[in-house]
């Protein structure tokens, strides 16, 4: 997705959560500085074009659905879904994270040649500053939710999981398969619940743009507030 398409939705997110845009931009630029000497990873190298890509979230259903991830051509996993899939015997092709839960996993992945999409936003600069210098920059894909720059990309999306879906879409995935997504999880804290509601709206927008029907949204569409007139 190009930024022109993403920006109106991004502006709605900023308004909904009260995030200052300037903070996201400063975070983006700090991430760029920290990687200034690295030749970062081009996700085209993942070869997602035409593939069935599993997009793993960290909901309670993940272990139950691990086989569906294993059977996909590629797996992009959000944050702690990486560790849980590994424990279930499923290796991931890339991790998508804002470094707030399992930064050590991200470091190990980059060290062993698995790309990690590292997202900088207005509320994670200390984590970015602490962990990015410990990563192998050759396997980091730097991302922002603000305007992209020469070195920091914006493929669209907000939470770790939906950003994985937008990245898979951007790099040509033929089919997205969602595992570990539980929108009605009663155990998530209120702010996280609000983020999950936005993730759901974003996936609804994405499926409509792709002309696809994501099974994870079956039975839910009537209750989703659309983000675009075309939804």
Ligand X SMILES: Nc1ncnc2c1ncn2[C@@H]1O[C@H](COP(=O)(O)OP(=O)(O)OP(=O)(O)O)[C@@H](O)[C@H]1O
Ligand Y SMILES: Nc1nc2c(c(=O)[nH]1)N=C(CO)CN2
Structure tokens at 75: 């797996």
Considering only 34, 58, 128, 146, the residue that binds ligand X (CB under 6 A) is 58
CA gap 131, 31 in Å, rounded: 11
Binds 130: which of ligand X, ligand Y, none (CB < 5-8 Å by kind) = none
Q: Based on the shown chain and the rule CB under 6 A, indicate whether residue 108 belongs to the binding site for ligand X.
A: no
78 is an interface residue for ligand X by CB under 6 A: yes
Question: Which of ligand X, ligand Y, none has residue 83 at its interface (CB below 5 to 8 Å by kind)?
Answer: none
Does 7 engage in binding with ligand Y (CB under 6 A)?
Answer: no
Among 7, 123, 136, 212, binds ligand Y (CB under 6 A): 123
Binders of ligand X among residues 169 to 208 (CB under 6 A) are 181-182, 185, 188, 192, 195-196, 199
Q: Work out whether 19 is an interface residue with ligand Y (CB under 6 A).
A: yes
Count interface residues toward ligand X (CB under 6 A): 22
Beta bridge partners of residue 78, listed in sequence order: 96
> Would you say 164 and 170 are in contact if contact means Cβ atoms under 8 Å apart?
no
Among 24, 65, 162, 207, binds ligand Y (CB under 6 A): 24
* Structure letter (DSSP) for residue 133: G
Nearest C-alpha neighbor of 216 from the set 82, 56, 81? 56
Q: How far apart are CA 72 and CA 94, in angstroms?
A: 13
Both tokens of 124, joined, read 């994670």
Q: Which does 185 bind (CB under 5 to 8 A by kind): ligand Y, ligand X, none?
A: ligand X
166 contributes a contact to ligand Y by CB under 6 A: no
- Smallest distance from ligand X to CB 56, Å: 8
* DSSP conformational letter for 52: E
Q: List all residues 6 or more positions away from 41 whose beta carbon is below 8 Å from its beta carbon.
A: 115, 138, 139, 140, 141
CA-to-CA distance for 142 and 200, rounded, in angstroms?
24
Residues within the interface to ligand X (CB under 6 A): 57-59, 78-81, 98, 100-101, 159-162, 181-182, 185, 188, 192, 195-196, 199
């Amino acid at each position: 997705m190009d930024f022109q398409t993403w920006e109106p939705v991004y502006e709605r997110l900023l308004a909904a959560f009260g995030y200052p845009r300037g903070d996201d931009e400063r975070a983006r630029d700090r991430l760029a500085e920290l990687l200034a000497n690295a030749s970062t990873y081009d996700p085209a190298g993942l070869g997602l074009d035409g593939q069935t890509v599993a997009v793993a979230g960290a909901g309670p259903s993940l272990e139950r659905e691990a086989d569906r991830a294993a059977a996909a051509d590629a797996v992009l996993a959000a944050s702690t879904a990486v560790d849980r899939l590994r424990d279930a015997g499923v290796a991931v092709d890339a991790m998508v994270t804002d470094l707030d839960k399992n930064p050590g996993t991200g470091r190990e992945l980059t060290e062993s040649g698995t790309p990690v999409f590292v997202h900088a936003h207005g509320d994670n600069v200390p984590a970015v500053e602490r962990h990015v210098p410990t990563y192998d920059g050759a396997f980091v894909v730097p991302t922002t939710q603000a305007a992209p720059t020469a070195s920091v990309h914006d493929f669209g999306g907000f939470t770790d999981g939906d950003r994985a879906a937008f990245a898979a879409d951007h790099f040509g995935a033929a089919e997205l398969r969602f595992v570990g997504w539980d929108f009605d999880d009663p155990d998530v804290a209120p702010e996280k619940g609000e983020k999950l509601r936005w993730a759901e709206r974003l996936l609804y927008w994405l499926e409509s743009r792709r002309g696809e029907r994501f099974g994870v949204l079956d039975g839910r569409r009537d209750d989703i507030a659309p983000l675009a007139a075309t939804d």
